[in-house]
Amino acid sequence: MKKAIIILIISFFGTAKLSAQSDLSFNKVNELSLIYYYASEWDSLINIGHAANKENIDYYYLNYRVGVAYFFKENYFTSTYYFEKAISQNSQALKDDYFRLTYYKALLFSKQNNKIIAIRELHDSILDTYPAPYLGEVDAFYFVGNITKPIQEEELRFSSGNLYSETYYQQSINIFGVGGSLLLNENIGLDIRYSRANLGMIAAIENMEYFYLRNFTIQQNSFNVKPSVFLGSKHRVVIYSNISFLKGDIFAPIDSTNREYDFIKTKESSIALGIEYNYLYKNISLGVNAIVFNYSNDENIQVGASVLWYPKGNLNLYSYTAVSAINTWENEPRLIFQQKIGMELMDNLWLEVNGYYGDVHNLVSISSNYSFEIANHTYGIVSAELIYTVNPKLSFFIDNQYWWRYTGRKQIEIDNSEKIDIINYQQYNLIGGLKWNF
């Protein structure tokens, strides 16, 4: 009790002296940080660390102590930042048992798995108490969606003064997807995924004699391969590649006069290539990306930027914000915004709320596995996903989505000029799946 009172008194006068002077000495920083460290005064220790940084006082034991302080504040991302600064200042840091244990747990609780591999290779007793994370995962999902109500026939018929109209839109979608990721070592990871989609389409075609309303199905097979390269503790580069194959019997005109119609066998392939760079600073990850692709027979280039922020420095709350600019060679650039917020609702139960806004036509997102036909011609998407963790190896998820979509009704007027009318509709989707860590 007496020792605690003495420590508090020293802390009080040390803080008063700190606030009264414009700069700090190394000795004063070392003295106060040590007092706060042994007294478990984590906020005061963090404050002295920030004040020392402004005076260019930066050394191994200070970063060690501040890293411990952030760990006990449960700010694991910032904690690892200071531990890694300490490691850069002392090559023997990881031989300190308490340093290694606390740094390891901070990485473990923030799922920075690639950084743990070097530590787990030490083969010490901390792995018995706190098992190392799994090196990979396998997940599978099923996606089913339908428009909320059929588009009325009168919206599909051509208006007076026209010779011909043609409308195609997606009525339903069913997708099965499976994929996995693996950390090959502390520097390289690999993510491979496959999805198979059946798109239920409708063709509404009218000329001066007939009105045709036909259903048909397009099948899409899509493959994603994403290797990741970790450069040091802060940098990551992701290479994105996708190839998709479409096939189906599409109901369409079979001659240039638009007088004969039938189901036509169609096969198409599309590719996307991209690169993303991420920089981790404390509890913020900044990203930029660039992608080229030829989805929907358009030559597109897309650039984007993103911010992943952990406000509390741990996985209990996070925010992902992204903006993408897409430019086809025929059109003006379009902006698309994405915002995702995730949080822990209770033990083992998580919620992710996600939204896109913009003309989501041919959007490619490196962080997701949606391919081009799924989100084609979409104004916006909102979703709410629940994730339930059964145990460290197994989790289930269910996602409700609502899409605001549109399609174009092409009409040819009497003077042979062409115009496009926009028809709006909505779609509801349900996704369920599981994830297994190994």
Residue carrying the six token digits 């102590």: 65
Q: Is 408 helix (H, G, I), strand (E, B) or coil?
A: strand
Q: What pLDDT score does 9 carry? A: 47
Per-residue confidence (pLDDT) for residue 377, from 0 to 100: 87
Last residue of a domain, one of 97, 112, 129: 129
Task: Please report the pLDDT score of residue 6 as a whole number.
Answer: 41
Q: Please state, in angstroms and rounded to a whole number, the distance separating the CA atoms of residues 174 and 198.
A: 5
Are 225 and 362 in the same domain?
A: yes
Q: Is the pLDDT of residue 48 over 60?
A: yes
Residues 126 and 124: their CA atoms lie apart, in Å, by 6
Pair of tokens at residue 220 = 């899409």
Domain end, chosen from 105, 129, 153, is at 129
Lowest average pLDDT, out of 17-31, 116-130, 203-217, 326-340, goes to 116-130
The predicted model gives 221-242 an average pLDDT of 95
Segment (H or E) for 351:
strand 349-358
How does pLDDT run across 160-169, given as a tens digit for each residue?
A: 888 999 999 9
How deeply is 417 buried, as exposed, middle or buried, from its count of CB atoms within 10 A (0-12, 13-18, 19+)? exposed
Mean pLDDT of the chain: 89
In this structure, the answer to whether residues 335 and 410 fall within a common structural domain is yes
The first and second tokens of residue 108, run together, are: 């473990």
The total number of structural domains that make up the chain: 2
Residue 409 burial (CB < 10 Å; 0-12/13-18/19+)?
buried
317 plus 220 within the same structural domain:
yes
pLDDT at 13: 47
Judge if 389 and 344 occupy the same domain: yes
The Cα–Cα gap between 116 and 305 comes to 28
- Amino acid identity at 335: L
Same domain for 281 and 309? yes
Same domain, 140 and 18: no
- In angstroms, what CA-CA distances link 170 with 145, 212, 346, 417, 424? 10, 16, 38, 26, 12
**Largest CA-CA distance found in the chain, in angstroms, rounded:** 100
Tell me the residue range of the domain where 324 lies: 136-437
The answer on pLDDT for 274 being more than 90 is yes
How confident is the model over 62-99, as pLDDT tens digits? 999 999 999 999 999 999 999 999 999 999 999 898 99
201 and 121 within one domain? no
Identify whether the C-beta of residue 355 lies closer than 8 Å to the C-beta of residue 382: yes
| pLDDT of amino acid 300 | 85
pLDDT of residue 30: 95
224 lies in the same domain as 103 = no
pLDDT above 50 for 3: no
Query: Does 325 share its domain with 226?
Result: yes
Please check whether residues 54 and 170 belong to one and the same domain.
Answer: no
SS3 241: strand
Q: How crowded is residue 310: how many other Cβ atoms within 10 Å of its Cβ? A: 21
The half-sphere exposure of 196 on its side-chain side, counting CA atoms within 13 A, is: 3
| 213 plus 339 within the same structural domain | yes
For residues 151 and 423, the answer to whether their CB atoms sit within 8 Å is yes
Enter the tokens of residue 243: 């190839």
**Tell me, what CATH number does 65's domain have?**
1.25.40.10
Closest of 278, 251, 275, 273 to residue 263, by C-alpha:
251
Structure tokens at 55: 């005076």
Main-chain dihedrals φ then ψ at residue 207, nearest 5 degrees: -120, -165
Whole-model pTM?
0.88
Select from 74, 106, 129 the last residue of a domain: 129
Q: Where does the pLDDT of residue 145 fall: very low under 50, low under 70, confident under 90, or very high at 90 and above?
A: very high
**Between 19 and 40, residue with greater pLDDT:** 40
| pLDDT for res 328 | 66
Q: How confident is the model over 332-338, as a mean pLDDT?
A: 88
| Strand spans (E) along 207-260 | 211-231, 235-253
Residue 346's pLDDT band (cuts 50, 70, 90): very high
CATH number, domain with residue 320:
2.40.160.60
Q: Which helix (H) or strand (E) holds 88?
A: helix 76-89
> Does 98 share its domain with 190?
no
